[in-house]
Structure 1
């Protein structure tokens, strides 16, 4: 089946799809990366939050979320199933997320916290390291920012 891309607020996502999305995040962040932290942090249901995902049939194979934080947008919780990596699926999802942020808030910067080993990958989408490295759950991260047109 061809990969399809979707976007919706959490309340608008079918319960089985939402479950598969959250299960993917738990598999990647908590199980694969061994980061025991509150993955379900309440931000998915904030006003204006949007979930984006790629599916192959009924299976969610990549996901992320878009949040508004003051006068900037935030992309986070980017996760892709191990079997789907290297196929450009997450890259297409990121392109769509950046476009969605630009559509919702033209000229605003977009921020994210990248695992350090993925900083070059995020740079492909216009993100630049914007502060000192930090550790989150024993995983090195860097804050990154994609300047908006007015920045």
Structure 2
């Protein structure tokens, strides 16, 4: 969209449609959704023969996986979302778009993950798979064990 804001591109676009390009705000998911919606509305007016813009257009017909991947952040904002539901949403997102694992750091061994053992252990505990905990996973969650009172 940034490329469509240059003077020449704005003039070309304005000759075809009253729609204008907008910049994405990194801090808001809503701007991402509106950016994608605007892209799909503008796509019919952008000439694929224009060398400046040809590299920026999505190749072929975008599949429904794009539309499905937009829904995930909206579901993550629900008020009563359980941790396992969030994990299922991220797993589904990785199934839809496997490129997100490298690009958006959603893989379990990504650099952004502080303690992979803790995260794996918590997921297993919440999923009721206590028997499958490894020793290192058990060591990091043992402090959170609830003591039964008589």
On whether the aligned pair clears a TM of 0.5, the verdict is no
Bigger relative contact order (CA 8 A; separation at least 6): 1
TM-score, length-normalised on structure 2? 0.27
Structure (1 or 2) with the larger CA radius of gyration: 2
